[in-house]
Amino acid sequence: MNTRVLTGITTTGTPHLGNYAGAIRPAVQASTQPGVDAFFFLADYHALIKCDDPARVARSRLEIAATWLAVGLDHERVTFYRQSDILEIPELSWLLTCVTAKGMMNRAHAYKASVDQNVAKGVDPDDGITMGLFSYPVLMAADILMFNANRVPVGRDQIQHLEMARDIAQRFNHLYGRDYFTLPEVAIEEDVATLPGLDGRKMSKSYNNTIPLFEGGAKALRASVMRIVTDSRAPGEAKDAENSHLYTLYRAFATPAESALFRKQLEDGMGWGDAKQALYEHLENQLAPMREKYVDLIANPGRIEDILQAGADKARKQALPLMQELRVAVGLRNLNAGAVAGKQGKKDKDKGARFVSFRDETGGFRFRLLAADGEELLLSQRFADPKQAGALMRRLQEEPAADVLQASGEGYAAVIDGVTVAEAPAAAQGDADARLTRTREALASLAKE
């Protein structure tokens, strides 16, 4: 079994060099490893928690999607999608909300930090705090559990959220009696580069010390590099490479041999101006080809949209069947399916024959007829409209079974108004006549109810 690696990127900003080296590059790299199924998504519902500027959210989605594609993400291989295209995610988020302890949410760092700030300011503890912020970890758990991710690479600030996702998953599994969810493991990449920003502190939008990745082109890149702080050693003086931000930045984009050479040049007295020019040229060499793709993608948003839509289709194929199971698990069942048993406690043999409706991997509506012992007797065609599927299911119960069921080829089929509505499942084995009889009995037993 492949390992499912999943991570989300909140769409509130424009990716900078630190995001690239610290998160994007290692994620894209990891997605090419054998045995890995990668799920990368734009956490645009999460963006709404932090940002109420629609233009900024919209722009950021475009820029982040373009960045990931431009740096070489293979969107055919990985599942690359927008959170907001998968409506099962907010749906799951609600099911999880209903099993999540409020007390646990009270302890979430991000929420607590906001409360602490309010208390320090002497205002109401919950001043300005939305339910979005409070419930942030539940939505994040839904992102992860929806796809049964095994590994979730995130920054250290997200470790607690992963613990909460595990806790919520366990609670749900326990309450509903089965391992619906895989427990995700947090993956902290120890050896990825944390880049210093212009002022030497960690590069971060909140410190306003970032070097742009693509925005502003070569000119903006050079201008930023020239603003990196250095010490005051003059040209000709030996530099302390190990403690210079310039060298740390260089190393994150260079081979060991290139880094060693740069280091030697600094120790031999290269001036900071020349060193900055060398760093800029080195970065520009690597970034220019990717930037070209980025600019091209930004100019063709329709292409990105198509890729994301295809990604959403792929993601939904995973999400739908699980969501369907979860709905049944919690009791949100089709009334027609007869499946009114309680939690797992009630045994199959207590149930009679029954219809079970579900959505298949393409999102189409279907139903099955199951015998009392769970044997699958009929599998319906795929319907685009759930009402049509439901109506035909009822017709199958109401019409005399003898009129509806017909032997066909190796098996049998249920035919209504001359149209084949359902057939013996393809995988069925054994005596078709006996199964046809069982199917007839099953339909007859449902008609009596």
> Is residue 336 a contact point for ligand TRP (CB under 6 A)?
no
Of all residues in this chain, which one has the CB nearest to ligand TRP in the complex?
A: 8
Amino acid of residue 263: R
> Is residue 154 a contact point for ligand TRP (CB under 6 A)?
yes
**Nearest-angstrom CA–CA distance, 323 and 329:** 10
> Is residue 158 a contact point for ligand TRP (CB under 6 A)?
yes
Annotated binding residues for L-tryptophan, as ranges? 143
Yes or no: say if 35 and 2 are a contact pair by the CB < 8 Å rule.
Answer: yes
Stretch that binds ligand TRP, among 7-15, 61-69, 309-317, 322-330 (CB under 6 A): 7-15
Stretch that binds ligand TRP, among 6-14, 204-212, 250-258, 423-431 (CB under 6 A): 6-14
> Is residue 144 a contact point for ligand TRP (CB under 6 A)?
yes
Nearer to ligand TRP, 10 or 380 (CB): 10
- Please report how close the Cβ of residue 72 comes to ligand TRP at its closest, in angstroms: 21
Sheet of 151-153, strands arranged across: 79-82, 36-43, 3-10, 151-153, 185-187
Q: Exactly one of 5, 7, 111, 270 binds ligand TRP (CB under 6 A); which one? A: 7
For the chain, what is the total number of helices (H) and then of strands (E)?
17, 11
Closest CA to 86 of 143, 136, 140, 46: 143
Nearer to ligand TRP, 105 or 444 (CB): 105
> Is residue 10 a contact point for ligand TRP (CB under 6 A)?
yes
> Is residue 152 a contact point for ligand TRP (CB under 6 A)?
yes
Nearer to ligand TRP, 47 or 213 (CB): 47
| Main-chain dihedrals φ then ψ at residue 334, nearest 5 degrees | -65, 125
Stretch that binds ligand TRP, among 68-76, 151-159, 340-348, 404-412 (CB under 6 A): 151-159
- Please report how close the Cβ of residue 140 comes to ligand TRP at its closest, in angstroms: 4
**Nearest-angstrom CA–CA distance, 55 and 52:** 9
Yes or no: say if 115 and 126 are a contact pair by the CB < 8 Å rule.
Answer: yes
Q: Name the packing angle between helices 159-176 and 131-145 (round to 10°).
A: 70
Instruction: State the number of binding residues for ligand TRP (CB under 6 A).
Output: 12
- Please report how close the Cβ of residue 4 comes to ligand TRP at its closest, in angstroms: 12
- Please report how close the Cβ of residue 315 comes to ligand TRP at its closest, in angstroms: 13
DSSP states along 207-273: GT---BSSTTHHHHHHHHHHT-----PPTTSPP-GGG-HHHHHHHTTS-HHHHHHHHHHHHTT--HH
> Is residue 143 a contact point for ligand TRP (CB under 6 A)?
yes
Q: Within positions 39 to 68, which residues make up the interface with ligand TRP, using CB under 6 A?
A: 43, 46
Q: Exactly one of 8, 13, 22, 196 binds ligand TRP (CB under 6 A); which one? A: 8
Which residue, chain included where needed, has tokens 């009596």? 448
Nearer to ligand TRP, 47 or 193 (CB): 47
> Is residue 140 a contact point for ligand TRP (CB under 6 A)?
yes
* b (16+ CB within 10 A) / e for 69-90: bbbebebeebbbbbbbbbebbe
**Nearest-angstrom CA–CA distance, 256 and 242:** 14
Stretch that binds ligand TRP, among 140-148, 166-174, 175-183, 288-296 (CB under 6 A): 140-148
Tell me, residue by residue from 14 to 43, as one string, x for binding to ligand TRP by CB under 6 A and - for no binding.
-----------------------------x
**Nearest-angstrom CA–CA distance, 48 and 53:** 8
**Interaction site with ligand TRP (CB under 6 A):** 6-8, 10, 43, 46, 140, 143-144, 152, 154, 158
